[in-house]
Structure 1
Amino acid sequence: MADQKTQGDDGAEQRLSTREAAERLGVKPETVYAYVSRGQLTSRRNPGGRGSTFDAAEVDALARRGGRREPAAHGGDLAIRTGITLIDQDRCYFRGVDTSELAARYGYEEVADWLWTGVLRPGVRFTAPEDALAAARRAVGALPAHSGPMDRLRVAVVAAASADPLRFDLSEDAVLGTARALIPVLVDALPHLGTPDARTSAPDARTSAPDARTSAPDARTSAPLPHRLWSRLTMERPDAPSLRALDAALTLLIDHDLAASTLAARVAASARAHPYAVVSAGFGALDGPLHGAASGLAHRMLLEVLERGSAAAVVADHLRAGRRVPGLGHRVYQGEDPRARALFRLLEDVPQAGPALGAAREVAATAARHTTLHANVDLALAVLTVSAGMTPEAGETVFAVARTAGWIAHALEEYEERPLRMRPSGHYQGPRPPQPMPMPMPMP
């Protein structure tokens, strides 16, 4: 019988029919299959071949998450199972661990590797393969002088892919190898901005070891990745607190649930694109003022506040022009972005960050007179970039490098799912057929 409830031999797994699942969710039976097509439920054919059954525990979990309503038509209520990031009660967690605590205790490479594998390897370092790095540098070097950091990163990932004939191997070990190689390629392919002295790494951000230096610009085997990234972002010589803040920013930005770029990356992975293409998809969605480039807007605002000596005047100009105040508010947090709070705390130890930090707090306090918006991570990242003499685009570079690790984590998850499962239907609003054949326009 299609409507029969089934259990395993041990009674542990309870199966529901389509009708029973619909009743528990409070939706129509056809909506249950819509949940399946959107990846919110999994179904299993009955042994007799008629009808489908559903795991009762999974149905109940969906109901608790708000499944007792009709999903928006045509894929508007897409939900994707993930075990990577949880955002709950104004806190952010990676695999159940508070991201602020992770950033305070471990470095970016350590957290990224742990997020991929579940195994923490203290002191792990990512190294760029010679062939891939050489190809990426040639490609980046051929770009016009006015090219921005995102242009260079996009070109670098394509060049690295072309140098890897095994990129189509989607086994877990192969993808992990690609990830550990690609991220340092992205960093080491960017041009240095500093003098040889500025390119020398400062003491380790967490150990403050005085001899943790690299004597050559291309020393890739020992220096932590944030140390190598620093000289690609600014001509200023780093100190330990500044590097610690940059390392924490990279860690905090690794993932943030299904942001636009992460969804793009998962769609690519669903189509079984190789990891380089997954990252390219993420870069495409990241490159915009509403996502990765948001910190650049906050950077320019802080510079204006410092120049004019008043946050009130700058905030007023934004409001008068009908623009949002950069660096304030986030759709998933009612209070302050926990990533901003953690980064602000570290920036307090950076002596040269004092003016920019004061400007950011003045902006938030001024806006708080009229709105309940709080500081987000873009504002904190802007404090770092302004205080270190970086360009406005530096924050986007930090964001892109950091988030690459998150996209790889999501790709690893998606490769285990049914391929091409994210296929919403379009809501056609054009003219109804039949329509007359279009007539060619006469040539002038």
Structure 2
Amino acid sequence: MTMAPSRYLSAKEACAELGIRPQTLYAYVSRGLIRSETGDQRQRTRQYYREDIERLRRHKELRARPEVAAEQALRTGDPVLESALSRIDDDDLYHRGISVSELARESTVEEVAALLWTGDRSLRIEEFAGEARLDGISPTFIAELAPLSKVEQMQALLPAIGAQDPAAFATAPPHIHQCGARILRFMTLVAAAQDKTDSGIAQTLQSTWLPKRPETARLIEAALILCADHELNVSTFTCRTVASSGASLYAVITAGLSALQGPRHGGATDRLEALWDEAESANSVGDTITSRLKRGDVIEGFGHVVYRGVDPRAKILMELLEEAVPNSSELALAKTLTEEVRTRTGLSHNVDLGLVTLRRVLGLEKGAALLLFCLGRTIGWIAHAIEQYQTGRLIRPRAKYTGPDPRHASD
């Protein structure tokens, strides 16, 4: 088996990678461009983060080829703007410096929203307390939306709700935080098919989806928290762009929902469900994977562009399921899928596998995996919108023209 590269480089390796002298390396560290930690205590050596070294090397190469810099930034994950919300490492994800493992096990959805929106998870946002109601929408209109998915219903109803909110365009704290809470609780009511609630987000979902199993609220809460933010994925970048125009938070979330419904973003869980059904009915899970690989199919639920190994969100969710329902046959099948895919492709599981496993273990309706992702990610969409509002800047990238040369009238 191929060993994963070390997370750290020695000073000699770092200098060789960047083509610099030790003095320059130390200067980069002092300027915060490269992080370092103590290595061998006896020899008083330091080790340097491979991630930072590789990022600086890429930037150095792109300076020599500026024509490809923007394209690579948008396609391969190089940073295109600054954010204080989330940090992705090879083996962990942090929200404002706190590991999502800690947040998923110890915090509520409302606390994580406060953390991402304000920087303080202990801050109480008033609109999360008391009763929330689905008011101001015609019952006839709601009935007409019944054939749509819950995500589509949210997208249809949000503009109507926003039109009735007198504070919809208030983008300064604390008004924007209250607006975010109203939106999140409204979307929860739609997801739960309820017209009112005085409970928390996770408790509202659990009381509707699994009314006789209150212990499952913690698993639902963890899933929502693990989906809260993941930097600039396509829906989040869409939300930031719309927010940069000064549009209301309702318009921002509606745009995020539009992006989420694209098959390359929110469609992975549905395709994974189909793979799961096929594997469940087959004599051999391994043969099912092999057959799909022979057809050239993408194996959904595995691999991620920003992680070299297991997606930390999936790892935590699978651990929580193992602790709660260790004898579940659905959990056993998820483990078999994970092993068979890793053996045949080297890919590790991602959050989509975790969400679909949760749905099946708990016996939730199909579509619940995407719905949990959507509700959790709305917390991050709101956080990015708040951060973008605070910059007061419009996101307006340029395009590289690749069409025919301009022709003049005399040509």
| TM-score range relative to shorter protein | 0.7 to 0.9
**Deviations along 1:237-257, whole A, 9 cap, x unmatched?**
452442211110000110011
For residues 174-204 of structure 1, the C-alpha deviation after alignment (integer angstroms, 9 at most, x for no partner) is 2111001110001113453xxxxxxxxxxxx
Residue-pair matches, total: 353
Which residue of 1 is the match for residue 372 of structure 2? Answer: 398
1:218 is displaced (CA, Å) by 5.0
Residue matched to 1:296: 270
1:84 and 1:115 in contact (8 A); partners too: yes
Structure 1 length as normaliser, TM-score?
Answer: 0.72
Aligned residue in 1 for 2:400: 427
Give me the whole-angstrom Cα distance separating, in 2, the residues matched to 1:184 and 1:140.
20
Q: Map residues 73-84 of structure 1 onto 2, 5 A cutoff.
A: 73=68, 75-76=70-71, 77=73, 79-84=80-85
Cα deviation per residue 1:224-244 (whole Å; 9 max; x = unaligned)? Answer: 211212366x4x445244221
Partner of 1:160 in structure 2? Answer: 161
Percent identity between matched residues is: 30
Deviates more, 1:119-128 or 1:287-296: 119-128
Q: CA deviation at 1:118?
A: 2.0
Deviates more, 1:381-390 or 1:291-300: 291-300
Gaps of 5+ in 2: 1-17, 20-29, 36-51, 74-78
Residue identity matched to 2:260: L
1:204 is aligned to none
- Matched to 1:220, the amino acid is T
Deviation at 1:87, TM superposition (A): 0.7
Give the corresponding residue for 2:128. 126
Alignment of 1:76-155 (within 5 A): 76=71, 77=73, 79-121=80-122, 126=128, 133-135=134-136, 138=139, 141-155=142-156
Q: Secondary structure at the match of 2:281?
A: helix
Kept in 1: contact 2:86–2:93 (CA 8 A): yes
Instruction: Indicate yes or no: 2:221 matched with 1:220.
Output: no
Structure 1 residue 314: Cα displacement: 2.3
Q: Give me the CA root mean square deviation.
A: 3.0
Kindly indicate whether the alpha-carbon contact (under 8 Å) linking 1:137 and 1:156 is maintained by their aligned counterparts in 2: no
What residue is the counterpart of 1:321 in the other structure? Answer: 295
Moved more, 295-304 or 249-258: 295-304
Instruction: State how far apart, in whole Å, the 1-side matches of 2:168 and 2:156 are.
Output: 16
* Counterparts of 2:206 and 2:265, CA distance in 1: 22
| 2-structure distance, mates of 1:358, 1:60 | 42
The corresponding residue for 2:6 is none
| Contact preservation (8 Å) 1:136, 1:185 | no
Separation (CA, whole Å) in 2 of partners of 1:309 and 1:158: 48
User: Could you say what secondary structure the match of 1:93 adopts?
Assistant: strand
SS at match of 2:94: strand
My pick for the range that moved more, 65-74 or 268-277, is: 65-74
**Equivalent position of 1:198 in the other structure:** none
Q: Larger Rg: 1 or 2?
A: 1
Paired letter, 1:225: I
SS of 2:168's equivalent in the other structure is coil
Q: CA deviation at 1:297?
A: 2.1
Asked if 1 retains the 8 angstrom alpha-carbon contact of 2:132 and 2:186, the reply is no
Distance in structure 1 (CA, Å) of the matches to 2:144 and 2:405: 47
Q: Amino acid of the residue matched to residue 431 of structure 1?
A: P
Among candidates 251, 255, 258, match of residue 232 of structure 2: 258
Q: Indicate yes or no: 2:220 matched with 1:246.
A: yes
TM-score under structure 2 length normalisation: 0.77
Q: Which structure shows the bigger proportion of residues in helix conformation?
A: 2
2:90 touches 2:309 (CA, 8 Å); kept in 1?
A: no
Letter in 1 for 2:197: R
Give the drift of 1:431. 3.3
Q: Secondary structure at the match of 1:104?
A: helix
1:340/1:58 Cα in 2 relative to 1: closer, same or farther (>3 Å)? closer
